[in-house]
Amino acid sequence: MSQQAKGIPVSDGIAIGSGWIYCPVAIKVERYQNQDPEFEKDRLETALQQAKSQIAQLHQRTRETIGEEEAAIFEAHALFLDDPEFVGGIKTIIEAQRINAEAAVEEVVELYAQQMLSLEDAYFQARAQDIGDVGHRLLCCLLGVSPEGINLPDRAVIIVAEDLTPSDTVQFERSKILGLCTVRGGPTSHTAILARSIGVPAAVCLPMQLDDLENGVLLILNGTDGTLTIDPAPGELAQARQSQNQWRSRWAEQVADAHLPAITKDGRTVEVVANIGSVTDARQAVEYGAEGVGLLRTEFLYLDKQQMPSQAEQINTYREIFEVIGNRPLVVRTLDIGGDKAVEYLGTKSEPNPFLGWRAIRMIDEKPEILRDQFCALLEAGAGFDLRIMVPMVSSLDEVQQARQLFDEAHQALRTSSRPMADNVQFGIMVEVPAAALLVEHLAKYVDFFSIGTNDLAQYTLAVDRTNERVAHLASPFHPAVIRLIAGTIQEAHAKGKWVGLCGEMAGDPLAAPLLLGLGLDEFSMAAASIPVVKQTIRQLVYRDCQEIAATALKLPTTKTVMEYLEQVKDKNVVEGSRGK
């Protein structure tokens, strides 16, 4: 009998294949008296060598697929395995207590982890985790079990896990992942991000017991509706294969057409661009037909560091990404960090309400040099590129004036030093706080463009903490209040001759396309993998009809009625679109 679990769909598509259950934790160490300490020490030595070579491989792979920054974690892990006190401590316990190597490893790891934790500093808390990680790897080597996903089966599988952390996911070989499903996690979890970035189906929050599953069991994962079918009946399988084929040919068609412009049937063209945060993202964006970048996040340059990244480091990192994007327009968002990420040299500290706290543009009074340095680095790196810069989290006119002044100063400084720099750089702000949306008329004087961040705009308009699982579902960008703010922003900006983009998740949702198009949005910015489908959707729409759709949607009273109405519009378009072919 087949079984089904229904979770939250987070990455489109259908995967059919054998399940592979990933359980990283739960190693139980037995403690027993050893007969021969020398034998235990030899076992330890072999395990150390094995762990070192695994770490070397991970280091290499992470450097190639993710970046130098993340790879450095594994360099530290390798140093721990060479530590004379750590290794010596384990050997001493093997001899003195005459216990097995596993129990000795566990004892020493625990000892160091406790010492690190007692130092009460975020840096050391993270090191305690690292020690735990290294200890775990060492135990796996001693017990002869595969430590993590390093040894995925030879064939591609659907990975099933309780939850996946960043360090879990860097180890999976991408070509062997058919799909991802987890018992925990939400739409913005690491699983969801990974799945969308490599383009495999995924579902999270699946109510099921991993213990009931066996490795190799046949699974159907539908990432479009969030269902996981375990051990499907022949009929279900045949049906799934059929939908999979349909989905694949639709996807192939969309990707093949992704390089065509997004132009409605009656001739309105909008820009479809990508949200990125790394060189890898940039390459994928280009591959999926992005006409530029609507949001380059820059936080990665500042996290996990003990001091400000140098000008040279900033410039090199930016340039590496800019070169992939080439002559396409590129919008960079300046630093958006607050109390949710305590970074000592920036002065961010943990706060009871980090999203209402000292973050992003609000740092400008106390630490103007952070933004000034970033402007300088961007302007210099942007020489020869179509660069646009925007500042996040604006809520008042003063902030925009101050930022604009710093921007002009950076410009002036570079000109005096006659360094090469970007020409005609557009300056913009993000509209994420309702206050900014309501003041567009005044803010427009100081900016060249606006970019609406709907994730935060929904959070701030609806007073919903997006990180609080009990209320997160209330933060819908389809809420009538949010739609009205979006409509007002576009209208007022256009009245002042400024263009408007949108870089929240909403831009990548085909359901929202007729509404946003009808409201007059100029630029849609989204995860690269959403570009093909959004472009195809836009090409099937008629701008004049969308204006009517938007006008109707603006009159609806609830999130539910807005979404139902847009679903109706979508169904009608699908029917008409297929008739037109």
Partner 1 sequence: MPSAEIAVMHPAGLHARPAAEFVKLAASFPCNIKVRNLTADKKLVNAKSILSVLTLGVQQGHRVCIETSGEKEEEALDALRELIESNFGEAKP
> Where along the sequence are the contacts to partner 1 (CB under 8 A)?
75-76, 79-80, 82-86, 112, 115-116, 119, 121, 123-124, 127, 131, 306-307, 345
Pick 131 or 206: Cβ nearer partner 1? 131
Alpha carbons 156 and 153: distance in angstroms, whole number: 7
Residue with smaller CB distance to partner 1, 131 or 376: 131
Between residues 118 and 424, which has the closer beta carbon with respect to partner 1?
A: 118
Nearer to partner 1, 53 or 115 (CB): 115
Instruction: Give the largest Cα separation in the chain, rounded.
Output: 85
Q: Least distance in Å: CB of 374 to partner 1?
A: 19
Both tokens assigned to 404: 């604009």
Q: 13: helix, coil or strand?
A: coil
Catalytic one among 140, 141, 205, 503? Answer: 503
> Rounded to the nearest whole angstrom, what is the least distance from the CB of residue 123 to partner 1 in the complex?
6
CA pair distance 450, 247, nearest whole angstrom: 35
Task: Give the residue with the Cβ less far from partner 1, 119 or 238.
Answer: 119
Q: Which residues pair with 431 in a beta bridge?
A: 452
Phi, psi angle pair for 410, to nearest 5°: -60, -40
Q: How far is the CB of 118 from partner 1 (least distance, A)?
A: 9
Total count of residues recorded for the chain? 581
DSSP 99: B
Q: What is the rounded CA–CA span in Å between residue 419 and residue 414?
A: 6
Give the span between the Cα atoms of 229 and 134, in whole angstroms.
36
What residues contact residue 416 under an 8 Å CB cut-off, 6+ apart?
none
User: Cα torsion for 20, 23, 27, 28, to the nearest 10°?
Assistant: -90
Cross-strand pairs, 18: 218
Question: What is the C-alpha to C-alpha distance for residues 462 and 180, in angstroms, rounded to an integer?
Answer: 32
Q: How far is CA 322 from CA 266, 277, 319, 435, in A?
A: 34, 12, 5, 32
CB of 72 to partner 1, least distance (A): 8
Cα–Cα distance for residue pair 517/547, rounded to 1 Å: 7
Calculate the CA 404 to chain-centre distance.
29
Centre a 10 Å sphere on the Cβ of residue 581 and count the other Cβ atoms it contains. 5
Q: Contact 190/94 with Cβ under 8 angstroms?
A: no
**Which of 83/253 has CB closer to partner 1?**
83
CB of 79 to partner 1, least distance (A): 5
Give me the least distance between CB of 493 and partner 1, in Å please. 42
The distance of closest approach from Cβ of residue 76 to partner 1 in the complex, given in angstroms and rounded to an integer, is 7
Nearer to partner 1, 73 or 206 (CB): 73
Least distance from partner 1 to the Cβ atom of residue 304, Å: 9
Q: Rank residues 123 and 300 by Cβ distance to partner 1 and give the closer one.
A: 123
Element (H, E) at 553: helix 543-554
> What does the block give as tokens for 214?
């066996």
For residue 249, give the amino acid letter: S
Which residue in 190, 205, 376, 479 is the catalytic one? 190
- Contact 65/284 with Cβ under 8 angstroms? no
Task: Choose between 121 and 469: whose C-beta lies nearer to partner 1.
Answer: 121
190 is catalytic: yes
Among 351, 352, 294, residue whose Cα is nearest residue 500 = 294
In the complex, what is the shortest distance from the CB of residue 115 to partner 1, in angstroms, rounded to a whole number? 5
Q: What is the DSSP letter of 309?
A: P
Please say if 503 is a catalytic residue: yes
Report the catalytic residues: 190, 503
